[in-house]
Amino acid sequence: MTTNPSRIALVTGGSRGLGRSAVLRLAERGVDAILTYRSNEAEAHAVVREVQALGRKAVALQLDAGDSKSFAAFADRVKAALAATWQRQDVDYLVNNAGMGVDHATVAETTEAQFDLLMNVHLKGTFFLTQKLLPLIRDGGRILNTSSGLARFTLPGYAAYAMMKGGVEVLTRYLAKELGGRGIAVNTLAPGAIATDFGGGRVRDNAQLNAFVASQTALGRAGVPDDIGNAVAALLTEPNGWINAQRIEVSGGMFI
């Protein structure tokens, strides 16, 4: 008698913030993880231990989501990790979560270097990393890309960031169309303002900003990482395969 293989999610930026929450909430639902980190290896391995404490398996791999030239080698490391840890050749889910913010800057103030960094990580990185990992996603699997509420509503100072996230939302629809023959559903998750260390921790640490976010959110508070982690887990592990090519905002009803 054979047992069903473990489900495996590859979560970029899974060592902290929203990615960490997604990895842990998935583990609670029986999903193993390959999680990536950019520079803090100790932080990533702490998440691995948390996953193991929940009775699941996890592997941490280094990845610079803004360095597209490294993606082919990264895909090879994913293959090796799958073979060594799970005796498999593919993952069930890809969560493109890795990202970073920049200092608040209007269009007039945004530098070309800031623009290029955001583009390389959020847009070019998502496009070409997904491209390299497509052979490693099982037919019938799912891809979840990360956008932002800022692609719907407008706050001065975030134009470049929001542009990249708008591009991710378009990419999601094209991926869904092109991968339909493989039965792979592709959606976008768009968080609202979340109290994490993202963007220097402004929503978490600036009481005035936190209060402003709460005042503009129907549920009366800023989001927390588990609001997003639980949404990721629900979208991937529930029988939601017919949800496809959609933008799902998880913002508590911000600016409605």
Active site residues: 161
Strand partners, 188: 145, 247
Alpha-carbon gap, residue 236 to 100, rounded angstroms: 23
Alpha-carbon gap, residue 91 to 88, rounded angstroms: 8
Cβ distance 81 to 61 under 8 Å? yes
Q: In what order do the strands lie in the sheet with 185-191?
A: 58-62, 31-37, 7-11, 91-96, 137-146, 185-191, 247-250
Cα separation values, 139 from 31, 85, 218, Å: 17, 21, 38
Q: What single letter denotes the amino acid at residue 159?
A: A
Alpha-carbon gap, residue 162 to 148, rounded angstroms: 7
Cβ distance 30 to 37 under 8 Å? no
17-28 and 41-53 helices, crossing angle to 10°: 20
Q: Which residue has the tokens 């978490």?
A: 204
Cα atoms in the 13 Å half-sphere on the side-chain side of 4: 6
Cα separation values, 124 from 5, 209, 255, Å: 32, 30, 29
